[in-house]
Chain A
């Protein structure tokens, strides 16, 4: 660790983690040179509305900006959009961009995020086969979701299911094609997935699980998706099969493998002057596993952790990770990390349900909750405090959650 504060910090990437770190650096009296360099051309924006309100046309591209242009200016943040970093020279401590710029750094933060995994099969390059990761992706897709358009979604994760809900409200005909036996299979408990699946079916979404996509058909533009034993006609396809960390530019740097940048609890990489935050990182979690966490909360929290660590300041208070997804009028809120050995207990509400994950000591480690924000907020606190609970009363929603503590 250096004893003097760094004179210059460069942040690579322009998403939620990058902006949060820049804001946090300035808040914590960093008065050196601060540069944010990013391959995207759109000034920093938030991603959650891209599959929901912005896609539905209920908000504008301007409204999803993370900060106003004035803010970056007045905080002395040199924002360089549209110029991706292609190479890092750790020996000379310089970054080299596509436009030929050389940016020296004392400390660097990598927050390049992740990119949508591409579909690799016959027809994947046809027009109308779309992904949803960037603001431009969203605006382009929004232009195609006209009333009556037939949309086939490949992958029933959050992106797939949120787009399905939005597209139905826009009057599209929607099919969801998923390889796994159920929707949201990697994300939520089966009971929660079932609740969402039945709501989607009620809304007229054609959900086909345990279905493998064979090829995409069309001459220049997509016309149909061929699955096992059937053909699904489609005017538009959205591929939502997960993301991969943006680390190709780091090849040979010794900072990471293809799975992401391994960081310690301070978000520091193997190089003491290089930090990383957000979707691009691999970090050891409460349950012991080293993993990537794709969420706004993680990006914001790691952005703060990294900023403070780059200034050699103590870390922020520990926070329970959380996440949300809105589909139709269903609001899913989740917190904590379930471990492989955790037992689950359900609570049923008039308006939804919650699944609690418990460890061997009867403490809540994670919760997935639909339609009860009050109990969700309380369970988040119980996770943070590691309070033991009475399993019998936890399983009965007539007992208020506060009364389930032992």
Chain B
């Protein structure tokens, strides 16, 4: 387990243990009021949308075309938007800070 900092939709930041060697989404899905992640991490539904803290953006693998396509459809998209199912979480990302985007 490795720590991440998640700001929820009420603006409360909390530190939690994240699963490593799995998608970040899998950790966020298990929070109370976490992400819905309806398609199960298959980059099909965009219900695991997060904002990545700018300090961390460049340290993540870049979004592929599928992900960009889906982000395109989101009303609450920002420059630092990502789908958390497309972020493989590793120990190297310990300390990662994300904010849960509003539900569409």
Contact = CB atoms under 8 A, between A and B. Distances in A.
Nearest to B41: A63
Contacts of B33: 27
Contact of B42 (A48, A300, A372, A374): A48
B100 to A, nearest CB: 15
A385 interface: no
Contact of B40 (A49, A373, A375): A49
Q: Interface size class for chain B?
A: 20 to 34
A300 B35 CA distance: 13
A68 interface: yes
A46 interface: yes
A249 interface: no
Contacts of B42: 48-49, 52-53, 59, 326
Given A331-B69, A373-B72, A377-B104, A67 B40 contact: no
B44 A67 contact: no
Interface in B34-49: 36, 38-42, 44-46
Nearest to B74: A377
Contacts of A48: 39-40, 42, 44
Contacts of A63: 22-23, 41
A179 to B, nearest CB: 29
Contacts, number: 56
A376 interface: yes
A74 to B, nearest CB: 9
A296 B38 contact: yes
Contacts of B45: 324
B44 A373 contact: no
Interface in A65-108: 66-68, 71
Interface residues of A, number: 27
Interface in B84-104: 104
A18 to B, nearest CB: 15
A373 B41 contact: no
A115 interface: no
A300 B38 CA distance: 8
B32 A27 contact: yes
A221 interface: no
Contacts of A326: 42, 44
B22 A373 contact: no
A331 B23 CA distance: 22
Given A68-B19, A68-B30, A377-B104, A331 B73 contact: no
B8 interface: no
Given A300-B36, A326-B44, A373 B30 contact: no
Contacts of A27: 32-33
Interface in A15-54: 27, 46, 48-49, 52-53
B30 A71 contact: yes
B29 to A, nearest CB: 7
The 6 closest A-B pairs by CB, nearest first: A373-B73, A46-B40, A377-B73, A374-B73, A374-B72, A71-B30
29 contacts: A27-B32, A27-B33, A48-B39, A48-B40, A48-B42, A48-B44, A49-B40, A52-B42, A53-B42, A59-B42, A63-B23, A64-B40, A64-B41, A67-B30, A68-B26, A68-B30, A297-B38, A324-B39, A326-B42, A326-B44, A331-B66, A331-B69, A373-B69, A373-B70, A373-B72, A373-B73, A376-B73, A378-B73, A381-B75
Interface of B: 19, 22-23, 26, 29-30, 32-33, 36, 38-42, 44-46, 66, 69-70, 72-75, 104
Given A48-B44, A53-B42, A326-B42, 8 more contacts: A27-B33, A48-B39, A52-B42, A331-B44, A373-B72, A373-B73, A378-B73, A381-B75
